Amino acid sequence: MTNITKIFLVLNSGSSSEKFSLYEGEDEVCSLYFEGVEDAGKKKFICTITRADGSEEQLDKTWDSLDVAFREAKAIFEKEGFINAAHPLDGILVRVVAAGKYFSANHIVDDDTMKELEKVRITNPLHVPGTERGITNARDTFPDVPVMVISDSESLTKTSRKDTEYALPREIIDEFDLGRWGAHGASYGYMMNRIPELGLLKKRMVVCHLGSGCSVTALVDGMPAYTSMGETPLEGLMSSTRTGSIDPTIGALLGEKLGAAEAIKLMNKQSGLQAMAGSNDMREIIAGAEEDNPDAAAAYNLFIDGVAGKIGEFAAKMGGIDAIVFTATIGERSIPVRNSIISKLEFMGFKIKNDVKLDKAKGYANIAKEGSKPIYIIPTNEAAYMIKKASELLDDVA
Distance (Å) of CA 187 to CA 33, 151, 180, 212, 352: 21, 11, 17, 13, 24
Contact, 204 vs 321, CB < 8 A? Answer: yes
Q: Give the CA count within 13 Å in the CB-facing half-sphere of 82.
A: 28
> From CA 287, how far away is CA 193, in angstroms rounded?
36
Nearest 5°: CA angle at 276, between 271 and 281? 85
Strand order in the sheet with 375-377: 223-227, 214-220, 204-210, 323-327, 375-377, 365-366
- The residues that are catalytic are 152
Q: How far is CA 273 from CA 16, 213, 237, 251, in A?
A: 21, 11, 11, 18
Contact 20, 75 (CB under 8 A): no
153: left (phi over 0), alpha (psi -120 to 50) or beta: alpha
Cα dist from 375 to 67, 275, 328, 341, 351, whole Å: 45, 31, 15, 11, 8
DSSP letters for 53-118: TS-EEE-S--BS-GGGHHHHHHHHHHHTTSSSSSS---EEEEEE---SSGGGS-EE--HHHHHHHH
Q: Edge-to-edge strands of the sheet including 107-108?
A: 56-58, 42-51, 27-39, 17-24, 7-13, 91-96, 147-151, 107-108
Pairing of β 147-151 and β 17-24: unpaired
**Whole-number Å distance between alpha carbons of 96 and 148:** 10
Helices 127-141, 111-119: inter-axial angle, 10-degree rounding? 160
Q: How many CB atoms lie within 10 A of CB 339?
A: 14
User: Residue 200 in contact with residue 392, Cβ under 8 Å?
Assistant: no
